[in-house]
Amino acid sequence: MLVLRDIFHFRLRSKQINLLAAIEKDDISKMEGILSEGLNPNRVLALPVKEHRVPPLFFAALTGKKDAAALLLRYGADANYADDNGYTARDRAVEFGHSEVANMLAKAELAQSNGKGPQPPQPK
């Protein structure tokens, strides 16, 4: 029997998938709509590559989507988050040759570390 919890998780997963699709298509207005509904930009999700679990900022960095990464940062994405291997989104942008994204993320890492700029939401 489907319970309220299952419906909530299904809707949340749908939003996450829609956010990844919007990042991939560089659809900033769709991203804005999803994030403005309250989706946490730091929620870890599984990428379709090797079951790697990372937040949306990593996907934007991996794919070189600078505007998408900037929007995620404005909504409080944690630029200093490191995956299970110790890599940040900036590290991945560098690895995949997206220098503009990497430079922007380096500035965001520094700003967040110094308490300036949008800060990641604190766990409740």
Which of the pair, 115 or 23, is modelled with greater confidence? 23
The reported pLDDT for the residue numbered 5 is: 55
Full set of structural domains in the chain with CATH:
4-113 (1.25.40.20)
Task: State the average pLDDT over residues 23-51.
Answer: 83
Whether the per-residue pLDDT at 10 is higher than 60: the answer is no
Which of the pair, 103 or 120, is modelled with greater confidence? 103
Backbone angles phi, psi at 53, to 5 degrees: -105, 115
Q: Which helix (H) or strand (E) holds 29?
A: helix 28-36
Which of the pair, 15 or 31, is modelled with greater confidence? 31
The reported pLDDT for the residue numbered 84 is: 84
1-10 contacts, C-beta under 8 A, 24 or more apart: none
Closest CA to 20 of 51, 78, 65: 65
Q: Do residues 22 and 31 make contact, with C-beta atoms less than 8 angstroms apart?
A: yes
C-alpha 79 chain-centroid distance: 9
pLDDT, tens only, 39-88? 889 888 755 555 567 899 999 999 999 999 999 999 999 999 998 889 99
